[in-house]
Structure 1
Amino acid sequence: MAVHAHPDDESSKGAATCARYVSEGVEVLVVSCTGGERGSILNPKLADDPRVLRDITQVRRDEMAAAAAALGVQHQWLGFVDSGLPEGDPLPPLPEGCFALEPLHVPVEALVRVVRSFRPHVMTTYDENGGYPHPDHIMCHRVSVGAFEAAGDPEAFPAEGEPWQPLKLYYNTMSRGRISALHEHLLRERGESPYTEWMKRWEEREERPVTTRVPVAEFFEQRDAALLAHATQIDPDGFWFAAGRELESRVWPTEDFELARNLVGPVRPDEVEDDLFTGVREHLAGSSTASSTGRVA
């Protein structure tokens, strides 16, 4: 289960990983906490499109459906309202009734209901800074962690279904190593790079640990199709495709994650996983064996 703040986040963070696991027969559910109703139109080609201006909410729902189809994933809306990205100095207040201002227990309960229904073994979301400090991304982190911890507790939200405990929780990571490698290769091969400003901003950011690198180069095509499905948010001539799929596959063929919660046993600190399900299948096999012999797993 991949939990995201807005439609399009699932396509820019861990999309190829989702497509890979679908190809292996794993059921994958993307949960969008909000509908992205307050998102800006980031594709200049659609800035004046009458349909977009008339009903951005429905447009983004249609885009999300197309992206889910491109990745082969299931999808569910959590049902909260986009908070928008406040800008200015001082920052304006967030709009009343938005996701980021919800009492935490309300969206946690909603996500617990989905977790107990879908019964994932692995969840992914954002770190405590939201990946970047958008109020909905930070709230998505808090809600995801809260649901991970509450879903298996029979005393928490007892009306929301039978308890179910996911086994691992990961944070999506846009690692500095990846951006730096692409940046250096582009400078050498083309003499310019779209990541120059990123590299400057990264000097002010804490580097997150990368515990897991999932090889997914053969699924970059599906990721790109999902990105392009979000036509109001993604400029096909813009930043996301500047490196090119061939260079990206050659230089950095993985999507990277940070293991945040692990209930399947110790992980060696010097060992980088290549699979979000590392330890999970063995744990489940052991639980099955224990259950079949009458012992509690």
Structure 2
Amino acid sequence: MTQPTAAPSLLGVWAHPDDESLLAGGVLAQHAAAGARTAVVTATWTADTHRALELADALNVLGAGPPRLLGYADARNPASAPGGAVRLVDAPLDEAVGRLVAHIRELQPDIVLGHDATGQLTGHPDHKRAHQITLLAVEAAGLPHLYPDAGEPWQPAALYAATHSESGVGRLGPLLQSVGKTVLAVPDAYVTTTIDVSPWAAAKWEAICAHRSEVARPRPLPGLLARLPEPDRTEIISTEQFTRLTLSPAPGAPHKLIA
């Protein structure tokens, strides 16, 4: 009898606390439920802030382990790093990539998830910077002569950028536009993977709600979603889209997200 293939392990790399839940909460919960190792690295906010505590609660819901923080400040919120850490967008690129490489080599994920090049609908500068850092770190992690002090080399088999297609934005577009935000959806052809995460929508919503300070505010997406009727909210969060990006060759069969 053929044994079932284990779900591939995941590492999500996100700019802010709540990005993991909003953009890939369903996939993270799905893979964790299938027995896969899952983890999340968050580029901004520091361990001594309320957002880090909320992140820990959200990751507990998703089965994604404890927070892993790169320790940079949010581009738009100095309170994100009370100790005066540099903003992510101002951090030396080589330093930021090295910090992420260390997490990739320690965790050895099959798949890395991250932001897309547009900065996720609203074009947040932290999202775009996190995308750039992730692209570089995923390749560098497999090269022994780069960041030799960051652990033994490890090459993930796949990198997926969370994204939103023009035809798939649906109710999310008008919702963001209602508070003056832009909607930078990508052409449909850019999306390679669309996943129905409705079986994990309840867990995803619980994780989003763990970001209590964002739910309480009127303009952030968690707060906007919290004020919708439940059927509309569930429709929005029940689909996740990704683009598989090209990587250097890795041994073994290519890994795919559970669909």
TM-score w.r.t. length of structure 2: 0.77
User: In structure 1, what is the equivalent of residue 98 of structure 2?
Assistant: 109
User: In structure 2, what is the equivalent of residue 212 of structure 1?
Assistant: 193
1:127-276 counterparts in 2 under 5 A?
A: 127-131=116-120, 132-180=122-170, 182=171, 194=175, 197=178, 201-202=182-183, 206-207=186-187, 209-235=190-216, 238-242=223-227, 244-247=229-232, 253-262=238-247, 275-276=256-257
Residues 1:27 and 2:37 aligned together: yes
Q: Is the 8 A contact 2:15 2:44 kept in 1?
A: yes
Q: Is the 8 A contact 2:166 2:185 kept in 1?
A: no
**d(CA) in 1 for partners of 2:124, 2:204:** 23
User: In structure 1, what is the equivalent of residue 14 of structure 2?
Assistant: 4
Q: Is the 8 A contact 1:6 1:36 kept in 2?
A: no
Closer, same or farther in 2 for the Cα pair 1:254/1:35, shift >3 Å?
Answer: same
**d(CA) in 1 for partners of 2:51, 2:227:** 24
Q: Is the 8 A contact 2:45 2:74 kept in 1?
A: no
User: In structure 2, what is the equivalent of residue 64 of structure 1?
Assistant: 55
* Cα deviation code 1:204-229 (max 9, x no counterpart): 76536211012210111111111111
Q: Decide which moves more: 247-256 or 167-176.
A: 247-256
Letter of the 1:215 partner, please give it: D
Q: Is the 8 A contact 1:11 1:226 kept in 2?
A: yes
Q: Is the 8 A contact 1:78 1:111 kept in 2?
A: no
**d(CA) in 1 for partners of 2:111, 2:165:** 21
Closer, same or farther in 2 for the Cα pair 1:240/1:176, shift >3 Å?
Answer: farther
User: In structure 2, what is the equivalent of residue 81 of structure 1?
Assistant: 72
Equivalent pairs: percent with the same residue?
A: 28
Larger radius of gyration: 1
Letter of the 1:12 partner, please give it: L
What is the deviation of 1:251?
8.0
Letter of the 1:9 partner, please give it: D
SS in 2 for 1:14: helix
User: In structure 1, what is the equivalent of residue 25 of structure 2?
Assistant: 15
Q: Which runs of 5+ in 2 are unaligned?
A: 1-10, 78-83, 251-255
Q: Is the 8 A contact 1:168 1:264 kept in 2?
A: no
What is the deviation of 1:135?
2.2
User: In structure 1, what is the equivalent of residue 7 of structure 2?
Assistant: none
Q: Is the 8 A contact 2:71 2:85 kept in 1?
A: no
Q: Is the 8 A contact 2:141 2:154 kept in 1?
A: yes
* Cα deviation code 1:2-40 (max 9, x no counterpart): 000111111111111100100000111011111179xxx
Letter of the 1:109 partner, please give it: G
Letter of the 1:239 partner, please give it: L
Letter of the 2:59 partner, please give it: A
**d(CA) in 1 for partners of 2:237, 2:204:** 15
Number of paired residues?
232
Q: Decide which moves more: 14-23 or 240-249.
A: 240-249
What is the deviation of 1:61?
1.7
SS in 2 for 1:153: coil
Letter of the 1:136 partner, please give it: D
Closer, same or farther in 2 for the Cα pair 1:25/1:264, shift >3 Å?
Answer: farther
**d(CA) in 2 for partners of 1:116, 1:122:** 12
What is the deviation of 1:201?
4.5
**d(CA) in 2 for partners of 1:145, 1:155:** 17
Closer, same or farther in 2 for the Cα pair 1:233/1:251, shift >3 Å?
Answer: closer
SS in 1 for 2:119: coil
Q: Is the 8 A contact 1:122 1:277 kept in 2?
A: no
Q: Which runs of 5+ in 1 are unaligned?
A: 38-56, 87-94, 185-192, 266-274, 279-297
